[in-house]
Structure 1
Amino acid sequence: MSDQLRPRTNGSKNLATVARHGRLKRSTAFKTVARFVAAGLAVVLVSGVSVAAIATFDVAVSAQPSVHLDNETKGPVPSIGAIDGGVNMLVVGSDSRKGQDAIFGPEDSTGDLNDVTMLLHISEDHTNASVISFPRDMFVPIPSCNKVDGSGSYNAMSRQKINTTLTYGGLACTVATVEKLTGLEIPFAAEVQFSGVMAMSTAVGGVPVCVAEPIEDEYTGLDLAAGEYTLEGYEALQFLRTRHGVGDGSDLTRINNQQLFMSSLVRTVKSADTLSDPGKVYSLAKAVTGNMRLSDSLNNVSVIASIAVALKDIDLDKVVFAQVPTGNVEGGVVPSQPAFKNMFTAIAADESIQLSGTTGGGTVADPNAPVTETPVPAEPVDPAVPVDPAAPVDPAATPVPTDTPGTVLDESVTGQTAADYTCSAGRTLQDQ
């Protein structure tokens, strides 16, 4: 394949199925990909993947051995229908590349850090969902965690980066840390390998992305001119890895760029073109289950299916991707208070969350986003005029909104909904 990006013309827009292949720098490849791949399970569930495909035997057996969480107790497995009540699920991405030599080459293991930690929350009434990202370099207290090999436990630590929890005590330690940090109970968890990013993006036939300004990144080999692209496989991986090529070159603006991709993936999966294609649905479900380890509580296709059923009808504008508010300190970031506490107080109270800030420095609004028609407001009702219950109802009348605004998060919280169309705020070599 040529090293040059070769966009093909489709009307007035440039489309590309291939981004330039570049040399992967081993020191950063594994740690930067994991963020999106871990989000794959959350995206699939939020998108409402076909229950039939998830329950397919071949998909089920592709899942890896499960992990027991400290807070788990045995209970009945729900039938295949919408799960009762709300759900908190932690989705963790590891930088381990065990068994992935075909992508990264046969080098020694780089460790096992959770370079993505994301919380999927589903409201109790199944009307909204949120995916909350925790930056990998955020300093947090870590509770005492059992060692993975069963040889004892680690002492509690007052201040360590959150991405070390997987090394200390595996998935159960990461869950315990986030529970302590947020005050939430998290009964479901999944650890995902970053090799799944290629399989997931390919399964849906590619993910559309918009680039506002050129992206040039020597570290990932990504070189994209301004325009629109449909990325899959290795090219999608490059796009999600890029840090130097977007925003201010930081990990925080890279999260913004990845939220752009995830929002587009949700729209793609929820589209008729994907959900009406059994082959795509099956491939997507298997791509996810084949690249993750589940907690015991989640290691059952009926449970996964029941969560998918609960989420399948949520409107795109009710699916919120948000990054926790943080402040800079030497060597990393820390939660920014009181905005951080207020965010999780709202989630604990099962209130819908609304963004008031920007989508972040890694993205800008898409000027070519589809325009939705503004509904015509209903005629005001005169309270002095009695309502005739036998009067015919106009089927064309605009229903009176019943939604409550929920909790408006502090403007320091960046993110977007799945209904928002954004473009990458590219960064050229001259600016790096």
Structure 2
Amino acid sequence: MSAESTPDPGIPGEPGTAGRRHRARGRRRKQREKRHKGLKAMAWTAAGIVVLGGTGAGYLYLKLNGNIDSVDIDQALGTDRPEKADNGSENILVLGSDTRSGGNEELGGGTDDGTARSDTAMIVHVHEGHRKASVVSVPRDTIVDRPECTDSEGGTHPAATGVMFNSAYSTGGAACAVKTVESITDLRMDHYLEIDFTGFQKLIDELGGVEVTTTEDISDPESHLDLKAGTHRLSGEQALGLVRTRHGVGDGSDLGRIQLQQAFIKALVQQVEEVGVFTDPKKLYDLADSATKAVTTDSDLGSVNSLMSFANGLKGIGPDRMHMVTMPVVYDPADANRVLPVQDKAQLVWSALRNDEPIPESATEGTAAGEAKGVVTP
């Protein structure tokens, strides 16, 4: 606390009181003003406590809590799901939504047609002890069999064969996306996190940008990205362009974009570790405000307490403790813009996660890659 807010030794009832109890009215008014300023400083500290530990109450807590949208995945999917793991690990489905509604219309580069797709999909497996994670990207263009599913509003959607993976989200929202992933992997998704274009861009800007190095020029007018080879601190708009570009690098496929996304995520995790939010309560609150506005979660994470407690449990996982792969696929001979799962190799991945073991290198050997690996490094 500042010297301005330090209790005066002569104020009755405060530590160090030595004077008599009667004071002139003007003197007492000045002391009350000082105490008011001191309480303002304490309020910022309280904000930091709310965000850090998920504890506290009052306006700041309610504001952050009210920012979060959540979906009751468990109720929508019922009991016909894979069993929860009993080995201390957790699986989280993380989706990046390319909805064109609201503030996303300009960023998405399309029109508000009332639909949304999962532009990015990752299964994050947090190993027992929460000291490391395996991350599996699922290409949006993967041809899958989508199971019958019920959305969060109770609507039922019939099963479909030979459709793109990201059609699950556009058909039945978060619940259908989770159902499809569980059907493909036979893994229970313990949590769900979704972030949209607008939220992603604001989060990066709030962090002060993210530094990456490009080993070659990247130019893609469709994603508004133009980077020369070298080291850059990307703004939110540039970061969004990077994780969405597919024509500026590699073979122009979704697989190349996934490799850029994986490299960027490692750089982002590094940035979060380095930025001094935990020593600056206001910065910490601003970041929490942007983050809670940006995400949609499952109902178990749909409060500040739950979300921050969950995030706090992952803070020991640095970029060097994240093993990132792409679900084993090959290009579809019938359509070069689509990919097909390599079932035997994919089962090696899902089996490893189910048993809380490292993903073997053999699982991804000889599969389609996208030719963008190493173009961007943290």
TM-score (norm 1): 0.65
Q: SS in structure 2 opposite 1:109?
A: coil
Percent of matched pairs sharing the same residue: 34
- C-alpha spacing 1:144/1:183, structure 2 compared with 1 (3 Å): same
- C-alpha spacing 1:60/1:333, structure 2 compared with 1 (3 Å): same
For 1:345 and 1:167, the matched residues in 2 are separated by 28
The CA deviation at 1:175 is 0.5
Per the alignment, residue 119 of structure 2 pairs with: 115
Per the alignment, residue 346 of structure 1 pairs with: 352
The CA deviation at 1:216 is 2.0
The CA deviation at 1:289 is 1.9
Aligned pairs, number: 309
Question: For 1:281-316, what per-residue CA distance to the aligned partner results, in whole angstroms no more than 9, with x for missing partners?
Answer: 333333232122222122123322332232212343
Per the alignment, residue 237 of structure 2 pairs with: 234
- C-alpha spacing 1:156/1:102, structure 2 compared with 1 (3 Å): closer
Matches within 5 A, 1:196-275: 196-271=199-274, 273-275=276-278
The CA deviation at 1:126 is 1.8
The CA deviation at 1:342 is 0.2
Q: Indicate conservation of the 8 Å contact 1:132/1:323, yes or no.
A: yes
- C-alpha spacing 1:424/1:128, structure 2 compared with 1 (3 Å): closer
Q: SS in structure 2 opposite 1:290?
A: helix
Which letter maps to 1:349? Answer: N
Q: SS in structure 2 opposite 1:338?
A: helix
Which letter maps to 1:113? Answer: R
Q: SS in structure 2 opposite 1:339?
A: helix
Q: Indicate conservation of the 8 Å contact 2:77/2:150, yes or no.
A: no
Q: SS in structure 2 opposite 1:269?
A: helix
The CA deviation at 1:102 is 7.3
Q: SS in structure 2 opposite 1:311?
A: coil
- C-alpha spacing 1:274/1:172, structure 2 compared with 1 (3 Å): same
Per the alignment, residue 139 of structure 2 pairs with: 135
The CA deviation at 1:239 is 2.3
Per the alignment, residue 312 of structure 2 pairs with: 309
The CA deviation at 1:65 is 4.4
Q: Which 5+ residue runs of structure 2 have no aligned equivalent?
A: 1-49, 80-86
Q: Indicate conservation of the 8 Å contact 1:66/1:293, yes or no.
A: yes
Q: SS in structure 2 opposite 1:238?
A: helix
The CA deviation at 1:318 is 1.6
Greater share of helix residues, 1 or 2?
2
- C-alpha spacing 1:101/1:300, structure 2 compared with 1 (3 Å): closer
Per the alignment, residue 168 of structure 1 pairs with: 171
Question: For 1:247-280, what per-residue CA distance to the aligned partner results, in whole angstroms no more than 9, with x for missing partners?
Answer: 1221111111121111100001012534444344
Per the alignment, residue 378 of structure 1 pairs with: none
For 2:327 and 2:110, the matched residues in 1 are separated by 36
For 2:77 and 2:233, the matched residues in 1 are separated by 42
- C-alpha spacing 1:208/1:274, structure 2 compared with 1 (3 Å): farther
The CA deviation at 1:218 is 2.7
- C-alpha spacing 1:52/1:202, structure 2 compared with 1 (3 Å): farther
The CA deviation at 1:340 is 0.8
2:64 to 59, 63, 78: 59
Per the alignment, residue 285 of structure 1 pairs with: 288
- C-alpha spacing 1:422/1:263, structure 2 compared with 1 (3 Å): farther
For 2:276 and 2:375, the matched residues in 1 are separated by 23
For 2:171 and 2:231, the matched residues in 1 are separated by 42
Matches within 5 A, 1:41-120: 51-52=52-53, 57=61, 58-69=63-74, 70-71=76-77, 85-100=88-103, 103-104=106-107, 107-109=111-113, 111-120=115-124
Q: Indicate conservation of the 8 Å contact 1:209/1:423, yes or no.
A: no
Question: For 1:170-203, what per-residue CA distance to the aligned partner results, in whole angstroms no more than 9, with x for missing partners?
Answer: 1111101101110101131123222112111111
TM-score (norm 2): 0.73
Per the alignment, residue 365 of structure 2 pairs with: 411
Shift >4 Å, 4+ stretches: 53-56, 104-107, 412-415
Which letter maps to 1:342? Answer: L
Which letter maps to 2:185? Answer: T
Q: Indicate conservation of the 8 Å contact 2:98/2:197, yes or no.
A: yes
- C-alpha spacing 1:201/1:348, structure 2 compared with 1 (3 Å): same
Q: Indicate conservation of the 8 Å contact 2:209/2:233, yes or no.
A: yes
For 2:250 and 2:54, the matched residues in 1 are separated by 38
The reply on whether 1:158 has 2:161 as its aligned counterpart is yes
Q: SS in structure 2 opposite 1:248?
A: coil
For 1:341 and 1:282, the matched residues in 2 are separated by 42
Q: Indicate conservation of the 8 Å contact 2:105/2:112, yes or no.
A: no
Larger deviation, residues 218-227 vs 319-328: 218-227
